[in-house]
């Protein structure tokens, strides 16, 4: 449907041929998209926008949103000028004139007070507004002058560079002097070891009730860091590569030269300190960075404490310099930069891009950031993101509900719990005499929590979890309150414990402790003290071996590697996430106890049932929110599960869906109800394993491969089913028949192998099209929800036909899904006579289908056929969930003969035209 939101106001004509500045003449659908977007932003709506991939969605978002922002800023300036002119006029007129304007004392104000009181209050408000405007004007002028200087004065840059190299030289000379001095002094080795231990010991902890936390030094001379947040657009997407692509689009757009844009990222992407980057895992990088900052802030107080004991040299980050970060901030605002350019600038200016980019947020007009940063409130506030009255655009949002659920869910294994308990106990024993009472109290509370969690899995925290068999295996779901009560931890304040973990950086200290005393390499340097820890090393090694068996087969290798690193490093980091999740409201989540063969393999998982609670704040605070994607159908999920549950007034929600730019004759979608031997196509769990169903699928593919040139992509509902069908075809000889026409490729499970398979697949198609001969291209057997069904484009010859085998319904036996279905049926009204749980299952299936079949058409001149193999696709409830641009061109074919004839005609016609 197309919204009438565009009527809410429109921008002045631009050089793009229409009302919006555009790098080329936009398609009509792009104009409509931009007009609807402009209207939604102007009216403060929550919009669900769908624009198929290949229709220039990113550029439409950029030009539509920035045109609105430009006009909004102009209106603001005009309003400011009007108010300031009024003020000046009054000052010139003098007090007498001003008094004349006040109504007579007899008049009454709105609340019944005399008219002159109401007028006085109004005047005071106006005066305050004018004072604020003047302040803001001065600030803005200062900022603009500063950025203008940087733009035009290259000498400033060189001066800053020279100053940095001088500082580096001074530091280098100082270091040399220290080394010369220390050569003569023989330092007692044991004393040195103790000295190194200092950084592992927890600092004295005071909770927030006992002190007002001062976060970082405030520089009195420079009020630039505390800037007012201008009205801005927050644009977020899923991956850093998508964000970089978006920034490049901004650079190419008419707004590229004069938009203040800042790219935000995680420390993992932005850190330029090699020593910290080497830690690899995000949690370790975060903790190390926080610790270095803490050291910097504590350095001054350390220097003041002389005489009592030798000062500990704490490592501080050389890139965390206010002066350099301010310079970086201004450089970022002067010219649009993506993450890679930001990192290069950070290295060059010796300034931290992670913090430098954050200082640029207040003055930025467009902030580009990953999902996690915007949707997770603690991350959002830590980054200094203020959403009040701002605009948020969430792109690639087809998985938004799942994303919010994942961000706020957490899982810990039995081996992690036991490992953390062992590490923390050893840590406490070693430093007991040197830890303050408050630290000991919290450590004991954490140890007790870990003990109880392991007990809930049916184990004992003091025994090796890999050797403890679980008597009652299976999966149990509990409400948060029941879990806390049955674990006997309902008397512990989890908010305080989690706050302690965050503030004291205990997991970082523990990681340092294990790094020093827990690894095999550390065993070489043992002194008497360390020999006590030999048992810990052996124990940790057995835990590691136990936990290695746990990694699920579907995990992404990079994630897998990071998880392994975290599991063996400081499992307490993972557990902190679980503790945080337990602080959710009782009705919004469940705890899943997954008891497997041993305690080590068992796990506790927090499942968020109501993602709307975490999205509510975003839609409440923002002026407007746009949820956009290439395939948003079916949109009922967004309306009901997300927006309605978040308390959004249905009148505030607006939907916009546009067609594709390709002509209707370039796409042929067919729903096939039966195969060549008249076997009805219905791939249910009961029927899909039948040999005749697998044979019929093979026959369909054989026929298609005879008439479709280039690449054919065939999607299966799961890896297991694809494997089963492949083995069956191999046995019956069907695979060999297929291989005479197309070279066969299979989607690998491991993410790091996907790229290689795609390269080989593309090479093969190119070779065949150039060589001619019997081999006409390649066949790629893929999996719905796998690596190839999202984010990979099968444009042109890479995907001339996309086939969907059956309907990829999710596994309804999954405890998580069952709990979600129960929760929906309890909390949601029935829609068109259907239970909400049934609608959820259908929507999950169709979202996956739409994502997969949308892979084939990527630009205006592209063409492809789409084949849906299952008669159930023709049911109205299912059929209506296809994207509109595919739905309106889809043909339902009860028999294979007429479908095949049409496919042959379509592909022959297109091949002749090429």
pLDDT along the chain (914 residues), means of 10: 40 51 84 92 91 81 91 85 72 53 46 66 72 72 68 56 58 59 46 58 65 42 58 88 88 87 88 86 81 68 48 70 84 86 88 89 90 87 88 89 88 90 89 84 90 89 83 86 89 88 83 71 34 44 40 38 47 86 85 88 89 89 90 80 85 85 84 90 89 90 88 90 92 89 86 82 83 81 78 73 91 86 86 82 88 76 88 90 86 90 86 66
* Closest among 136, 391, 360, 373 to 261, alpha carbons compared: 360
- DSSP label of 674: B
Phi-psi region of 458 (alpha: psi -120 to 50; beta: other; left: phi over 0): left
CB within 8 Å of 782: residues ≥ 6 apart: 713, 714, 715, 716, 722, 747, 788, 789, 852
Are the C-beta atoms of 707 and 865 separated by less than 8 Å?
no
Q: Compute the distance between CA of residue 441 and CA of residue 439 in angstroms, rounded to an integer.
A: 5
**From start to end of 374-497, where are the E strands?**
391-394, 410-413, 474-479
- DSSP label of 225: G
- What is the reported pLDDT for 624? 93
Here the tokens at position 108 are 């009454």
Are the C-beta atoms of 236 and 394 separated by less than 8 Å?
yes
Q: Mark out the alpha helices in 153-239 (DSSP H runs).
A: 154-184, 189-197
Are the C-beta atoms of 886 and 892 separated by less than 8 Å?
no
* Closest among 364, 383, 157, 135 to 266, alpha carbons compared: 383
Here the tokens at position 722 are 């694809």
Here the tokens at position 908 are 């022959």
Q: Render the burial of 886-904: b for 16+ CB within 10 Å, e for the rest.
A: beebbeebeebeebbeebe
Q: Is the peptide bond preceding residue 634 cis, with omega within 30 degrees of 0?
A: yes
Here the tokens at position 799 are 């995907």
Here the tokens at position 246 are 């978006």
CB within 8 Å of 77: residues ≥ 6 apart: none
Taking each helix axis from N to C terminus, what angle separates 282-304 and 506-517, rounded to the nearest 10 degrees? Answer: 100
pTM over 0.85: no
């Amino acid at each position: 449907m197309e919204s009438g939101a565009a009527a809410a106001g429109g921008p002045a004509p631009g050089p793009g041929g229409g009302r919006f500045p555009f790098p080329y003449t936009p398609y009509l659908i792009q104009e409509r998209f931009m007009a609807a977007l402009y209207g939604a932003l102007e009216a403060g709506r929550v919009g669900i926008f769908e624009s198929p991939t290949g229709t220039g969605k990113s550029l439409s978002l950029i030009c539509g949103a920035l045109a609105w922002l430009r006009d909004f800023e102009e209106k603001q300036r005009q309003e400011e000028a009007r108010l300031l002119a009024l003020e000046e006029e009054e000052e010139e007129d003098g007090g007498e004139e001003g008094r004349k304007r006040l109504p007579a004392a007899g008049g009454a104000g709105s609340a019944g007070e005399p008219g002159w009181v109401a007028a006085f209050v109004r005047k005071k408000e106006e005066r305050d507004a004018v004072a604020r405007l003047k302040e803001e004007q001065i600030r803005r002028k200062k900022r603009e002058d500063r950025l203008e200087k940087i733009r035009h004065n290259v000498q400033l840059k060189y001066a800053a560079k020279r100053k940095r190299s001088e500082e580096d030289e001074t530091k280098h000379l100082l270091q040399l002097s220290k080394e010369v001095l220390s050569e003569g002094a023989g330092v007692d080795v044991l004393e040195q070891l103790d000295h190194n231990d200092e950084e592992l010991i927890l600092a004295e902890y005071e909770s927030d009730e006992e002190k007002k936390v001062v976060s970082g030094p405030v520089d009195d001379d420079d009020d630039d860091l505390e800037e007012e947040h201008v009205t801005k657009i927050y644009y977020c997407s899923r991956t850093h590569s998508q964000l970089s692509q978006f920034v490049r689009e901004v650079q190419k757009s008419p707004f590229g030269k004069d938009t203040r844009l800042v790219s935000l990222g995680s420390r993992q992407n932005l850190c330029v300190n090699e020593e910290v980057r080497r830690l690899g895992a995000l949690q370790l990088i975060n903790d190390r960075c926080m610790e270095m900052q803490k050291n910097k802030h504590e350095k001054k107080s350390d220097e003041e404490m002389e005489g009592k004991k030798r000062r500990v040299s704490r490592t501080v980050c050389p890139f965390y310099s206010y002066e350099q970060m301010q310079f970086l901030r201004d450089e970022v605002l002067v010219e649009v930069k993506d993450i890679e350019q930001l990192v290069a600038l950070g290295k060059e200016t010796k300034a931290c891009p992670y913090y430098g980019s954050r200082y640029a947020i207040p003055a930025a007009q467009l902030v580009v950031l990953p999902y996690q940063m915007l949707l997770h409130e603690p991350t959002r506030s830590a980054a200094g993101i203020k959403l009040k009255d701002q605009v948020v655009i969430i792109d690639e949002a087809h998985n938004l509900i799942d994303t919010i659920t994942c961000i706020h869910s957490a899982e810990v294994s039995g081996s992690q719990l036991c490992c953390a308990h062992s590490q923390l106990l050893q840590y406490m024993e070693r430093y007991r005499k040197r830890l303050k009472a408050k630290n000991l109290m919290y450590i004991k509370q954490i140890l007790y929590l870990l003990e109880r969690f392991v007990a809930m899995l049916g184990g004992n925290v003091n025994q090796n979890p890999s050797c403890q068999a679980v008597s009652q295996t299976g999966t149990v779901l509990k409400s948060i309150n029941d879990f806390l009560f049955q674990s006997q931890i309902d008397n512990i304040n989890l908010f305080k414990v989690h706050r302690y973990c965050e503030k004291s950086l205990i997991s970082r200290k523990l990681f340092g402790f294990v790094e020093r005393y827990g690894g095999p390499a550390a065993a070489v340097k043992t002194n008497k003290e360390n020999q006590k820890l030999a048992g810990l090393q052996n124990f940790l090694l057995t835990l590691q071996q136990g936990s290695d068996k746990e990694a699920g087969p579907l995990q992404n290798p990079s994630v897998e590697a990071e998880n392994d690193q975290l599991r063996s490093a400081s499992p307490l980091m993972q557990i902190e996430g679980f503790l945080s999740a337990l602080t959710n409201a009782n009705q919004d989540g469940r705890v899943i106890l997954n008891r497997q063969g041993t305690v080590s393999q068992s796990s506790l998982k927090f499942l968020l049932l109501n993602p709307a609670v975490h999205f509510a704040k975003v839609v409440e605070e923002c002026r407007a929110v746009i949820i956009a994607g290439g395939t948003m159908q079916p949109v009922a999920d967004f309306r009901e599960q997300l927006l309605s549950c978040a308390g959004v007034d249905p009148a505030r929600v607006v939907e916009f869906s546009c067609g594709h730019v390709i002509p209707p004759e370039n796409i042929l979608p067919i729903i096939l109800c039966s195969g060549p031997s008249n076997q009805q196509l219905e791939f249910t769990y009961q029927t899909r394993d039948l040999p005749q169903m697998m044979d019929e699928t093979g026959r369909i593919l054989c026929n298609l491969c005879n008439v479709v040139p280039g690449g054919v992509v065939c999607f299966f509902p799961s890896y297991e089913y694809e494997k089963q069908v492949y083995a069956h075809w191999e046995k019956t000889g069907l695979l060999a028949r297929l291989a005479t026409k197309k070279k066969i490729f299979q989607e690998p499970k491991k993410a790091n192998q996907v790229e290689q398979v795609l390269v080989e697949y593309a090479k093969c198609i190119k070779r065949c099209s150039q060589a001619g001969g019997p081999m006409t291209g390649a066949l790629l057997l893929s999996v719905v929800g796998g690596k190839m069904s999202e984010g990979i484009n099968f444009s042109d010859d890479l995907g001339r036909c996309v086939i969907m085998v059956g309907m990829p319904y999710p596994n309804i036996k999954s405890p998580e899904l069952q709990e979600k279905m129960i929760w929906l049926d309890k909390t949601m009204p029935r829609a068109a006579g259907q239970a909400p749980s049934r609608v959820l299952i259908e929507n999950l299936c169709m979202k996956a289908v739409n994502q997969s079949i949308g892979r084939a058409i990527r630009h205006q001149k592209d063409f492809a056929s789409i084949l849906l193999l299952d008669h159930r696709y023709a049911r109205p409830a299912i059929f209506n969930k296809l994207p509109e641009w595919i739905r309106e061109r889809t043909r339902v074919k009860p028999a294979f003969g007429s479908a095949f004839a049409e496919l042959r005609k379509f592909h022959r016609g297109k091949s002749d035209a090429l």
